[in-house]
Amino acid sequence: MTTATNTRRGRLLVAASALSALVLSVSGCADRSSETAEGTLNVGQISDSVAFFALHVAEERGYFEEEGVELGERPRLGTGAKVAAALQSGSIDLGAGVLTDALNMHGTDDSTRLVSNLVEKYYVDIIVGEDFDGPAEDASLEDRIAALEGTKIGITGPGSGTEALVNFLFEREGLDAENDAELVNLGGDPAGALGALESGQVDALSFFQPVPQQAEATEVGSIYISPVRGDIPDLENPTHGVVFANESVLENKSDEVAAFQTAIERANEDIKEDPEIRELLAGYMEGIDEEARDELLPLMQEQLPPEPGFEQGSVETALEFHEDTGLVSDPPGYEEIVPEDLRR
């Protein structure tokens, strides 16, 4: 392991310690129980991103109510750390985020478990501006990564999945993103990220969907490296978008959680098969061009898990990615974080 990698992992461990302090300061104890009434679940999520479209579908089509659970508070909390803190405090029962958030929470509360599988692809791409002077998109992955050396790359922020993808790609070719590129923290606003790319503030973006599709639809940039497209053999089908909770909620609200899971499964089937889902997607992503939505929907359908539960290979691919990139220093094993009834 290189000195640079050790340095970066040291920074991430400090960040993880800060997250632990935040979670514990809010919670007071790791096993605080739900504050919601019987038959109700408060469900928080980071944002209205691609990963959480199934929740929107299930709400709009009344599936939660039909399955016997009422959704109470539905906050958009902005970051995975805030989702974890809300779970620990008992103000929400379930949290929708990415696997990174669940693994970080497991570091402070080993009763953390996965509840629903939302996305089984790594839906972050490298996007380059129209003036990018590098090999074409059909060049080898090695050549495309090398072309990013010395560039300014926009990410959402430190310790994020967007930073992790850059780290992963650079380390794959013996580079160090901290020293061999300039990572620019842009926050999570898609419009701001695209503006930074168009203005030349950054040469490239490492950003989540639908930013890549919107970049191409508006001719601001093009997708250069895409895990979803199959560009990275080491990163095929990792578990990414998830709903998670702690064991006390799973035990004390088992009927409500089961109803929630069934509603999500119904929504996922609709996304895969119902042609009318385009209308719901248009309402969910009002600021996205129609061309970008048309490009996005087939990808969203492909990214859904093929069946309910968590496939062991997908989870273990994701766990290895988190450990290799330093996002999580000591991730739990598959059986530690996936309940027995969700293993496949």
pTM: 0.83
Three-state DSSP at 24 gives helix
CB contact at 8 A, 125 and 209 = yes
d(CA 125, CA 244): 24
Is the pLDDT confidence value at 319 over 70? yes
Do 174 and 263 fall within a single domain?
Answer: no
- Which of 200, 229, 258 is the C-terminal boundary of a domain? 229
Q: What is the mean pLDDT of the chain?
A: 89
Do 201 and 252 fall within a single domain?
Answer: no
* Confidence bin at 34 (pLDDT 50/70/90): low
CATH number at 211 reads: 3.40.190.10
User: Peptide bond preceding 210: is omega within 30 degrees of 0, i.e. cis?
Assistant: yes
- Which of 201, 229, 257 is the C-terminal boundary of a domain? 229
Mean of the pLDDT values across residues 168-192?
94
Is the pLDDT confidence value at 298 over 90? yes
Do 153 and 223 fall within a single domain?
Answer: yes
Is the pLDDT confidence value at 274 over 90? yes
Is the pLDDT confidence value at 17 over 80? no
Strand order of the β-sheet with 204-208 is 182-185, 152-155, 204-208, 124-129, 221-225
Structural domain that includes position 310: 40-121+238-337
